[in-house]
Amino acid sequence: MAATLPQPPASYEKMLRRMREVCWLNSSSSALEWDQDTYMPPKALAHRAEQLSYLRGRAHRLATAPAVGGWIADCEQRDLAPDSVEGANVREWRRQYDRATKVPPSFVEQFERLRALAHESWRAARAQSRFELFRPHLAEIVAMIRRKADYLGYEASPYDALLEEYEPGARAAGLTRLFAELRPAIVALLGPALQEAAAVPEHLLRGTYPLAAQQAFNRRVAEAIGFDFTAGRIDTTTHPFCTTLGAGDCRLTTRYNENDFTTSLYGVLHEAGHGLYEQGLPSEFYGLPAGSAVSLGIHESQSRLWENHVGRSRSFWEHWHPAACEHFPELGKLTTEQV
């Protein structure tokens, strides 16, 4: 999209400055969340929860100030081309402002504090296989999410209010119809797929795959599909994710099983798919709608494309089997087709 305002109005410039300030706060929060997932010492949790509560609350207050609504309204009076950078920014600023102003800043602070504490509870519960450790936090989160839906408002389903945050325009009723249409075809595929899966020995790939070898192979594959390691990295977490901390700073994570290298490999392929999308966004518009992902559905389509359509294909393994054997010699006993 090309800019159409050689001399943007003062209100647009004020919005740019304000939204970039909000962006710095949110990206700082994301860096702290990444650190919590990767390297933060356990005793720092209470402090980290307060940091995130403050930063997210401050960002929310700045983004929902009455002056922001006035600046957006002034921009809307201008003759902006809908498909221009300015037009797209103003349109999304309006949508985001109208939603955010319905949610009290105190709620945002409370939720971010709870989310940070609950995450560590979930991690401990997962490691010990003890759901009861996480149950109280989960109950609180669900209750707060329901409150958020009420704040945002909806016509048919509380999920509509929440879905709008990730997939603008989508509604629960539409998804229900979509899956009803897909169900017959999926059911028809399921039987043959299960039969084929049952014919594969359960522990065919089970072996010994040292952590360092997995890390080296995963990086090699991620680089080959285009992930830029001068603008990103891979670290270890309980559950894989991708987060962008700023322009030129995209972080991937994965988890490892030294008896099954595919656990980390497909985690990296999936998250690198997200990372490729993030690294492909225009960095000059970072923090603005024109430089942001259009929806979670589009984002997930990229990660699943690389993980499953590419990574589990015969052609992928025809290319990568010899390289995998360099890192994992015992794979040499299997054919490409077996892998």
Q: Are 267 and 216 in contact (CB under 8 A)?
A: no
Which residue, 67, 69, 74, 77, is CA-closest to 95? 69
Q: What is the CA radius of gyration of the chain?
A: 23
Give me the residue label for tokens 């987060």. 243
CA distance 257 to 212: 12
CA distance 73 to 69: 6
Which two structure tokens, joined as six digits, stand for 276?
Answer: 């490729």
State the catalytic residues: 271
Type of residue found at 300: E
Which two structure tokens, joined as six digits, stand for 299?
Answer: 């984002």
Alpha carbon 222 to chain centroid, angstroms: 18
Burial 224-261 (b: 16+ CB within 10 A, else e): ebebeeebbebeebeebbbbbbbbebbbbbbebeeeeb
Which two structure tokens, joined as six digits, stand for 140?
Answer: 């609180």
Which two structure tokens, joined as six digits, stand for 82?
Answer: 């809908």
